Amino acid sequence: MMGLSKRTINRIHGILFKLPMMITCRSFEDFILAYLDDKLPPRQKFVLDTHLELCPECRDYLRACRISIELAKTSAREAEVYFPIEVPEKLIQAVLEAQKVQATSNRN
Amino acid sequence: MTICDDPDLSATKQERELASLQNKEHGRTEQFVRHHAGWMLAVANRVLRDRSHAEDAVQNAFAAVFKNLDSFNQKSSLKTWMHRIVVNEALMLLRKQSSTCEDSIDPFQSIFDENGCRIEEDWTTFRTPETILQQAQSSAQVIELIGRLPESYRVILVLRDIEELSTTEVADMLETSEANVRVKLHRARSALKKLLEPLIRGGAL
Ligand SMILES: [Zn+2]
């Protein structure tokens, strides 16, 4: 589709996505969560896959989305490993103290 | 102790740990508390983003663990069970402190033109999570950006994508519908993607 302006491409997409088995990016948006979780019935998955084949915007969006989910996950893990929160001794002692009280009251 | 190197204590080790706790073996309680306090504090702090509130949550969580130890049914691993408990305690404290107004998440959502086509700025480069996280400070930046999400969205993203709870579990814990969790998770992910774009594209934040 070289030589065509983005506006024209979008207009063609606008028409194309109204054909049977096609959806617009706006409708695609409603299925992204299920798509990412891989929880769609085959027919719906096929419709979304077809849309992705044709639509670089949704493809890029989804790819960036996947990377950002992965970043959130991995950053939290890395932070826990490399910058662990030091457990204050007073917290340990408070927990043990409370446990002693609880154990005693259970016995009575 | 981290979530990575100790996903679950092995079954026999777990049984021994439980038995010695339930029999109140001398010194075992202290060992148990020291062994688990670190990761529990990390979980509580991710939910609450406040060190001292997180400590309170951990203390409450241990109390709940000791109180319910006898009824722990071993259907899940000990760690999974304790993880749910500390998340719950953290959420209880969060409910008490959270304000009623929060910023709108709308400015960070996807936009479409009059044909229903997505408007997405051109992507020329995608850096992988590995490349991004090789840079010192990246993980701190990501965590800081997650913290910028409006509270009710942030919590759902943390519970689903970082603590890896299911939609059903999150809905139960927050006393809301699964549909609401799904909608909010999608919006939270969209917003986070927007906030992380500069990092993913490779520019400076
Ligand atoms: Zn699209």
Q: Specify the range with the lowest mean pLDDT, choosing from B55-64, B73-82, B160-169.
A: B73-82
Q: Is the pLDDT of residue B183 over 70?
A: yes
CA angle centred on A91, ends A90 and A95, rounded to 5°: 115
User: Does residue A77 sit within a domain?
Assistant: yes
Determine the angle formed by the axes of helices B138-146 and B178-201, rounding to 10 degrees.
140
User: Does residue A15 sit within a domain?
Assistant: yes
Q: What is the pTM of this model?
A: 0.87
Tell the burial category of B24 from Cβ atoms under 10 Å away from its Cβ (0-12, 13-18, 19+): exposed
Which residue of B lies nearest to A12 if distances are taken between CA atoms? B115
DSSP string, A69-101: HHHHHHHHHHHHHHSPPPPPHHHHHHHHHHHHH
Residue B2: what pLDDT?
39
Q: Specify the range with the lowest mean pLDDT, choosing from A26-30, B13-17, B61-65, B93-97.
A: B13-17
Residue B147: what pLDDT?
95
The ipTM (two decimal places) reads 0.86
User: Chain A neighbours among B 151-190 (CB < 8 Å)?
Assistant: 157, 161-162, 182, 185-186, 189-190
Q: Is the pLDDT of residue A76 over 50?
A: yes
What the block records as the tokens of B111 is 């936009």
User: Chain A neighbours among B 76-95 (CB < 8 Å)?
Assistant: none
Q: Is the pLDDT of residue B77 over 60?
A: yes
Q: How far apart are alpha carbons B22 and B30 in whole angstroms?
A: 13
pLDDT band at B3 (very low <50, low <70, confident <90, very high): very low
* Residues of the domain holding A48: 6-107
Residue B26: what pLDDT?
64
Please answer yes or no on whether A87 and B34 come within 8 Å at the CB atom. Answer: yes
Tell the burial category of B37 from Cβ atoms under 10 Å away from its Cβ (0-12, 13-18, 19+): buried
Q: Is the pLDDT of residue A60 over 90?
A: yes
Query: What region does A3 belong to: left with phi over 0, alpha with psi -120 to 50, or beta?
Result: left
User: Does residue A1 sit within a domain?
Assistant: no
Kindly report the nearest CA distance between residue A92 and chain B, in angstroms.
7
What the block records as the tokens of A44 is 């719906």
Please answer yes or no on whether A65 and B189 come within 8 Å at the CB atom. Answer: yes
Residue B201: what pLDDT?
94
Q: How many CB atoms lie within 10 A of CB B106?
A: 9
- Ligand 1 centre distance from Cα of residue B25 (Å): 61
Write the CA distances from B69 to A94, A100, B20, B39, integer angstroms.
19, 15, 12, 19
- Ligand 1 centre distance from Cα of residue A43 (Å): 18
pLDDT band at A17 (very low <50, low <70, confident <90, very high): confident
- Ligand 1 centre distance from Cα of residue B126 (Å): 18
Residue B25: what pLDDT?
67
Which residue of B lies nearest to A88 if distances are taken between CA atoms? B55
The overall average pLDDT reported for chain B is: 89
DSSP string, chain B: --TTT-SS--HHHHHHHHHHHHTT-TTHHHHHHHHHHHHHHHHHHHHH--HHHHHHHHHHHHHHHHHHGGG--SSS-HHHHHHHHHHHHHHHHHHHH--S----SGGGS-EE-TTS-EE---------HHHHHHSTTHHHHHHHHHTTS-HHHHHHHIIIIIS---HHHHHHHHTS-HHHHHHHHHHHHHHHHHHHHHHHHTS--
Q: Is the pLDDT of residue B32 over 90?
A: yes
Residue B4: what pLDDT?
40
Residue B115: what pLDDT?
87
Please answer yes or no on whether A74 and B161 come within 8 Å at the CB atom. Answer: no
Q: Chain A within 8 Å of B192 (Cβ-Cβ)?
A: yes
What the block records as the tokens of B113 is 């033109």
Please answer yes or no on whether B126 and A73 come within 8 Å at the CB atom. Answer: no
Please answer yes or no on whether B112 and A26 come within 8 Å at the CB atom. Answer: yes
Q: How far apart are alpha carbons A94 and B163 in whole angstroms?
A: 26
Q: How far apart are alpha carbons A7 and A2 in whole angstroms?
A: 13
User: Does residue A39 sit within a domain?
Assistant: yes
What the block records as the tokens of B1 is 């102790």
Smallest Cβ–Cβ distance between B33 and the set A10, A25, A92 belongs to A92
Kindly report the nearest CA distance between residue A59 and chain B, in angstroms.
10
Q: Chain A within 8 Å of B35 (Cβ-Cβ)?
A: no
Q: Is the pLDDT of residue A11 over 90?
A: no
Residue B7: what pLDDT?
45
The residue count for chain A: 108
Domains of chain B: 11-97 (1.10.1740.10), 106-200 (1.10.10.10)
Domain count, chain A: 1
The overall average pLDDT reported for chain A is: 88
3-state helix, strand, coil in chain A (%, to 5): 75, 0, 25
* A·B CB contacts under 8 A: 168
Residue B101: what pLDDT?
78
- Ligand 1 centre distance from Cα of residue B122 (Å): 13
Q: Name the amino acid, one letter, at B44.
A: A
More confident residue, B154 or B25: B154
pLDDT band at A98 (very low <50, low <70, confident <90, very high): very high
Averaged pLDDT for residues A79-95: 93
